[in-house]
Structure 1
Amino acid sequence: MTTTRVAVPRKGRPLEAVLERLAARTGTTELADDIISTLRYEKAITKGNQTAEDDVYHRLAEYSGLDDPTQPEYTLLRDDRDGMPRRVVFDSVTVPTAHGDVQLVGREEPFRALRTHEFALGFDSADLVLEEVVQLRDDALTSIEEINDRIDPLDTDVRVVTGLGDTVYHTLLATPDVVDAQDRPLGREFVRNYDGEFCISPRYERLVEAVLGTAALDGITFTYPENGNEEEADIAATGIGVYLTVTGSTARDHDLELGERLFPSETVLLENARERDAMTEDVGDLFAEPEETALQSV
């Protein structure tokens, strides 16, 4: 039977979203739960919140089903924490489906693996697509559905097919003093009429420019959190900025007001149009919600 390879992140929320979506379509809930719980446990060990009796190499051997592709395999990567410990991350697993076997293959940067035509299908954060390839324009990018219109076809053959709904938001945050300085809601128009420092994570500079629109950035100077500081604390010190929020509780702890949700940080299904065939289309449909269709024909 034909096997379709799909690039996925090696760890974190995007990988969990993919596993949960595939489990919902194939009934492999136990497999998904096993991979998710293993990686969460290993993350806790790396962060020092859990201890393990066996060393990392014994744990890796215990987890990995090398003789059975339908059992998950894992690998080791250097973590960027102090001491650079080795961390167990996802490597691969094969799941039988009605459209043939689907092999999930872990990659550090799935989006870039699709750009180099290593895969036809893959999953990655929408954030990375904005950081890598969307065109910056005066008008703001406001939704996942608008991404493909901002991708130059000469730059890449990769397009967004659909989102998985594991959404947190890049949200405007500001102190009450800054909010009270204008008689309007804390949103894009507020930023358009604001001059001064604006605190963001340096890895999201291009994303912020895209979702606010370049016309809103006149008179604004980006600042960045100090290493080791909570982003919300530095935004509070600056007065205004953008950060990822779920409930907003940490922002409120720093006396920040929550403004407009600028853009969803969501795992998205990606396709390299040049590598598309009938099998990859069927597998793509497997991951999409029944009522969803592709965002744009490519």
Structure 2
Amino acid sequence: MNRVSVAVPRKGRPLEAVLERVAARGGDTDLADEVISTLQYEKALTKGNQSDERGVYDRLAAYSDTDGGPEYTLLRDDREGFPRRVVFDACTFVVDGYEVQLVGREEPFRALRKHEFALGFDSADLVLEEVVGLEPEPLGSLSEVNDRIDPRDTDVRVVGGLGDTVHHTLLADTEAVGASTPLDRAFVDDYEGPFCISPRYERLVEAVLGTDAVEGLEFVYPEDGAEEEAAIAAVGAGAYLTVTGGTARDHGLVVGERLFPSETVLLENVGEVDEEARSLARHLVAGVETELTVEA
């Protein structure tokens, strides 16, 4: 049986989305559920929402399976005191005649850029932050991403998304947007002044709004520890990830146009992938509207 190694995040919702998708394609939902529940429990311990008399090394030993089951490792968490946290390391699923080995990496996208893997899953946001070219016209969908990647910069391309989507969305208070003005891209074209975003998304926002639209904007950022919606309300306008927009409305904000989907995407390095891995990649994202066509 052929084995294909796929780089995946070590924790968080993107990893859960990958596990759920691979399990659905291969049928081993028990394995996926085991990994997800273990990592959610460890997250709760890290946040102080659970307690466990066992130390982190004892828990790591208890979770480890030397007979082909899931493997875990330790990661320094960025919380106060930098506690060690149990995170995903590896496990193997059988999918469509392949042994699909999911391998945890801190930055799967960058591992693909360094040609360590042919396939990997990571956030679409990171692709926009790192390699998508900035142009006057806005970038509005995943289907446009590959056309904005300079082949001289990287061999990595987006194959498709998993549909675990939240959106980068325009938000503004009623004073800034007015009673009857739609909160959309046209509003941003005419707007000048402070525009609140997360500092890690500056290049992404430039890409999805277009360089012409951002000329009149002054990017400002929430103070450390401040809630993004509250910061946008104080500034007057901005963009942030939203699901339902409920928290934004609680802060008196108008929820406007969805600018770009933020979801987990399957990536391939076209310089490393072979036909078998490419076939598996298409199988993993089949049936999702954001599936793309990637030229070798």
TM-score, L = length of structure 1: 0.96
Local SS of the residue matching 2:175: helix
Local SS of the residue matching 1:285: helix
Equivalent residue, structure 1, for 2:36 = 36
Tell me by how many angstroms 1:283 deviates. Answer: 1.8
Task: Give the unaligned 5+ runs of structure 1.
Answer: none
Equivalent residue, structure 2, for 1:256 = 253
Alignment of 1:2-81 (within 5 A): 2-65=2-65, 67-69=66-68, 71-81=69-79
Local SS of the residue matching 1:8: strand
Q: RMSD in angstroms over aligned alpha carbons? A: 1.2
Alignment of 1:132-281 (within 5 A): 132-180=130-178, 183-281=180-278
Equivalent residue, structure 1, for 2:96 = 98
> Following the alignment from structure 1 to structure 2, what is the Cα–Cα distance between the partners of residues 201 and 174?
15
> Following the alignment from structure 1 to structure 2, what is the Cα–Cα distance between the partners of residues 200 and 33?
35
> Following the alignment from structure 1 to structure 2, what is the Cα–Cα distance between the partners of residues 250 and 52?
33
Give the counterpart letter for 2:116 in structure 1. E
Local SS of the residue matching 1:274: coil
Q: What are the Cα deviations for residues 198-235 of structure 1, in whole angstroms up to 9, with x where unaligned? A: 00000000000000001001221000000011011111
Deviates more, 1:280-289 or 1:157-166: 280-289
Give the counterpart letter for 1:195 in structure 2. E
Tell me by how many angstroms 1:296 deviates. Answer: 3.1
- Give the conservation status (yes or no) of the 8 Å contact 1:99–1:283: no
Count matched residues. 295
Give the counterpart letter for 2:236 in structure 1. G
Give the counterpart letter for 1:86 in structure 2. R
Give the counterpart letter for 1:143 in structure 2. S
> Following the alignment from structure 1 to structure 2, what is the Cα–Cα distance between the partners of residues 190 and 241?
12
- Give the conservation status (yes or no) of the 8 Å contact 1:99–1:282: no
> Following the alignment from structure 2 to structure 1, what is the Cα–Cα distance between the partners of residues 268 and 134?
22
- Give the conservation status (yes or no) of the 8 Å contact 1:99–1:279: no
Give the counterpart letter for 2:45 in structure 1. I
> Following the alignment from structure 1 to structure 2, what is the Cα–Cα distance between the partners of residues 104 and 172?
35
Cα separation, partners in 2 of 1:20 and 1:296, compared to 1, 3 Å: same
Local SS of the residue matching 2:258: strand
Cα separation, partners in 2 of 1:234 and 1:290, compared to 1, 3 Å: closer
> Following the alignment from structure 1 to structure 2, what is the Cα–Cα distance between the partners of residues 191 and 59?
50
Task: Give the unaligned 5+ runs of structure 2.
Answer: none
Runs (4+) of structure 1 exceeding 3 A deviation are 290-294
Equivalent residue, structure 2, for 1:285 = 282
Deviates more, 1:270-279 or 1:205-214: 270-279
Tell me by how many angstroms 1:273 deviates. Answer: 0.3
> Following the alignment from structure 1 to structure 2, what is the Cα–Cα distance between the partners of residues 242 and 290?
30
Give the counterpart letter for 1:91 in structure 2. D
TM-score, L = length of structure 2: 0.97
Aligned sequence identity (%): 67
Q: What are the Cα deviations for residues 91-129 of structure 1, in whole angstroms up to 9, with x where unaligned? A: 000112333211000001000000010000000000000
Give the counterpart letter for 1:22 in structure 2. V
